[in-house]
Amino acid sequence: MPEFSRRKLMGGVLAGGAASIFAASASAANSVSPTVTPSSTYIDVTTFGAKGDGITDDTNAIQAAIDSVVTIGNHRQKVSVFMPPGIYCCKRLNMVSNAALIGIPGFDYESPGGTIIKLIDSNSSTSPCLIDITNTRGVTLQGLSLDGSISQGGSAIHGIMRNDATPGGLSGLENSTRIDNCQIGDFSGDGLHIVNGWCWSLRHSYVFNNAGHGINYCGWDAFILDNWLSNNGGCGFAATGQNNSAVTFTANRVEWNHQHGMLIAKSAAFYTITGNYFDYSYLCGIAAVTATSDPQPVEQVTITGNFFYRSGHVGAASNSVDSSHIKLMGCCGVTCVGNTCRVGDDTGNLTGTLGPCYGIYYENLTDCVIMGNALHKGALKYLLSGRGGSNNAVANNQGSLFAK
């Protein structure tokens, strides 16, 4: 069985600085034909004919570069496929195991930049996503700006997709996927659509303006660290598939998403949600909900040290429990401690429609702790409101209602 190391997962695959990257790129671009040998650890898409001029369909050239990894890679040798800055027009790209697709990040808050891969196929049958990592292991995506061109009118096309039929896909092992320093935006589906993801990370990335969820997730052992999940049509993060567990969600900014900032459902367990900023969620900042049809409850979730601002004032009715900073329903073993909550509006100066109605709403909890949260001007009508459940500790949550 191939050896797996979490340390290797979090480590880099591309050694050397930008100078050596560009030097290698220039050399590869001047080659007459691709040079791929069993000792290769670095190849350049321009060697395979990719133009990056914003006009040429570069799908076949980039796919050829990715496919060449199969002939030179193994479970201990990772191969980097480099994409110099440019606009690469593409249909779906299918990653292979042990390949790293590497670009130069140059995007900003409003637009793509650097190494841009632009979707040119609006048919979800031929391009259900731009980058497909289904049934792969050991894939790295780094420094890429993925442009979904949502205005093309396609439906449910995702930015990055894993759709494994079973945990571990074809290998039956951890996926070991790493996504770093990427921008993923303007897709008609989800930014990331992950089914049966197992041991993967998303770091330092910007997932924005997708018609679906920023991250739509089903799986285990996810490390989601220091990202910006903004203005997605669904939730910033949604775990709604059966069985989601062992998620570390830390230091993310989750804002302006048109449903919940974060939705945890469907037998989810073992979440650590720490040190995040939740702003302008159309519904709840965080909703952890066990539906009556779920076979197991949402359980063992830690929510601590987060800031919640102006939740639920756009998409929820004024008296709805969806107008809450935090909503916990049917959960077991949840710790909600040391969070800060504040009323706000869309103008930022408290002259518009304010929200939320509830600070923290809870219902039918078991063995949960809600303590030490600060709700200074934290809600419009109820700082805390709850009913049902057993063996819970709810105390020392200090605050005041907001009044104009």
Q: Parse the chain into domains and list their residue ranges.
A: 16-233, 249-404
Determine the pLDDT at residue 153: 63
Q: What is the mean pLDDT of each run of 10 residues along the chain (404 residues)?
A: 34 37 41 53 93 98 93 67 97 95 92 95 92 95 93 80 87 90 96 95 97 95 98 96 89 98 91 97 97 85 98 89 97 97 87 91 97 97 95 96 86
Q: Which residues contact 111 (CB under 8 A, 6 or more apart)?
A: none
SS3 134: coil
Residue 45 near residue 56, CB atoms below 8 Å = no
Q: Can you read off the two tokens belonging to residue 187?
A: 């897709």
CA-based Rg of the chain, rounded to a whole angstrom? 22
Determine the pLDDT at residue 355: 92
Q: Is the dihedral of CA 51, 52, 53, 58 positive or negative?
A: positive
378-392 burial: b if 16+ Cβ within 10 Å, else e: bbbebbbbbeebeeb
Spell out the CATH class of 16-233: mainly beta
Burial of 78 (0-12, 13-18, 19+ CB in 10 A): buried
Determine the pLDDT at residue 90: 96
Determine the pLDDT at residue 40: 61
Residue 184 near residue 215, CB atoms below 8 Å = no
Give the predicted TM-score (pTM) of the model: 0.89
Could you give the CA distance from residue 214 to residue 229 in angstroms, rounded to a whole number? 6
Determine the pLDDT at residue 21: 39
Neighbours of 12 (CB within 10 A): 12
Residue 234 near residue 212, CB atoms below 8 Å = yes
